[in-house]
Amino acid sequence: MQTIRGTKDILPKEIQAWQDLYFKALELFTLYNYYEIKTPIIEQTEVFLRSVGNETDIISKEMYRFKDQGQRDICLRPEGTACIARAIASNKLYTIEKIQKLWYLGPMFRYERPQNGRQRQFHQLGLECIGSDTPIADIEVINIAHNLLQRLEVEDYHLQINSLGNEEERHTYRIAFTDFLKKYEKDLDDDSKKRLPTNPLRILDSKNNKTQEIIQKAPCISKYLTASSQRHFDTVKEYLTLLQIPYKINTKLVRGLDYYNHTAFEIISNKSNNQNTLCGGGRYNRLIKQFGGPDMPGVGWAIGVERLLMLKRPTQEKNSEKFRFEIITENSEGQKKSCHLMQILTENSIPFNLNLNNQRLTKQIKKAVKNKSIGCIIIGDNEVQESTITIKWLTQNYQETIPYQSIIPYLKNKIKTLEKFAIYTKIA
């Protein structure tokens, strides 16, 4: 049996890259005082109907939606921001702290055509700053995304930004944009024709060349911004310049979800392929209120993890692997002794692997070499009878027999020496 189309096993050899991403994100976000949050994978469908928008592709085409045994309308979450907004409202987090700085990492689900870097079960790393409507909050989240990509050694990307204005300005622009496109309706591609009466701003994302030619003549949303919205956007641009983060203004950038307003942004990989958006986000000032909470502004972003891992520099093997020991036993009495040994190794944080193959000692030692263990801890007949233990050092090709009760101080001292030698060799 195979995995369901659009899903993928993440194998042990791949996990280290995922862990590296998680811990680098955790370290960076902690510096900025952001806290991790985990929300359920399943949510009431109403969470996304209220926020994402009925006419978006996510709702109309891509959502995994079903009735559970209690006939509740349930879905697998297609994105993370609405879940965070719902969690803030339902848990009344705003009563604890006015500004909520949160981040998440987890699986999302959309019924899309699977491609390289895009699966039906995919993972998002997201960051949300809730409670501030100042442009500096927009700058903070963009700066964190930029710093994260730098730490992951992702290269060759650029930032695109736009302002969508407030709800009224966006609505006015939508009417003007729709009126413009109606004059060219017969020349639009089929998908754009379907979107015109329901979600016209999504036509700006069309990949059809003819439709893009038409859009180039369309009015820009910047002409519909009030002075207040323009000041907000100008401040964002000013601070990006101060932080030396290069950017391009893309007046066609609107993002695909209904809850966005004011600042919208994407970080785009310059590598030539269709799936080149690394990070997308923006401001959403009414989302918490839609879930019964107070009128709290917010801004955030999400990164597709699979796509990010394709572009980040490969993770180097961890040095701690070379200090792993292989526990080798010869009989049932040795296996009993190994149970106690495993316990004391665990208590002292010394990595080990218990050989479970019931092979001869020579074969178990060969397996330890293949596993790149630093040494074998051997408990044979003699060791059991004399209450000793034999350490065979594989990298130095010698062995020692010591009293069993001395094993921990002995190993700790040896590991400390080996670590110093490794550091010295690296410097030399």
CA nearest neighbour of 252 among 294, 296, 215: 215
Cβ atoms of 388 and 378 within 8 Å: the answer is no
Q: Please give the Cα distance from 321 to 367 (Å, whole number).
A: 15
CA nearest neighbour of 80 among 133, 130, 128, 131: 128
Does the annotation list 50 as a binding residue?
A: no
CB-based contacts of 35: which residues, under 8 Å, 6+ apart?
29, 101, 102, 103
What DSSP letter does each residue of 301-314 carry, written as one string? EEEEHHHHHHHSPP
Using the Cα atoms of residue 361, residue 362, residue 365 and residue 370 in order, give the sign of their dihedral. negative
Q: Please give the Cα distance from 367 to 327 (Å, whole number).
A: 11
Does the annotation list 124 as a binding residue?
A: yes
Cβ atoms of 74 and 43 within 8 Å: the answer is yes
Q: Is 356 exposed, middle or buried (0-12, 13-18, 19+ CB in 10 A)?
A: exposed
Does the annotation list 110 as a binding residue?
A: yes
- Tokens coding 273: 């392929």
Q: Is 247 exposed, middle or buried (0-12, 13-18, 19+ CB in 10 A)?
A: middle
Nearest 5°: CA angle at 219, between 213 and 209? 15
CB-based contacts of 110: which residues, under 8 Å, 6+ apart?
58, 62, 63, 64, 78, 120, 122
What DSSP letter does each residue of 251-317 carry, written as one string? TT---SSTT-EEEEEEEEE-SSSS--EEEEEEE-SSHHHHTTS----EEEEEEEHHHHHHHSPPPPP
Does the annotation list 259 as a binding residue?
A: yes
- Other CB atoms within 10 A of residue 50 CB: 18
Does the annotation list 359 as a binding residue?
A: no
Does the annotation list 231 as a binding residue?
A: no
CB-based contacts of 412: which residues, under 8 Å, 6+ apart?
348, 350
Q: What is the CA radius of gyration of the chain?
A: 28
Does the annotation list 7 as a binding residue?
A: no
- CA distance readout (Å), 45 to 110, 255, 260: 13, 21, 19
Residue ranges at the known binding site for L-histidine:
79-81, 110, 124, 128, 255, 259-260
Residue ranges at the known binding site:
79-81, 110, 124, 128, 255, 259-260
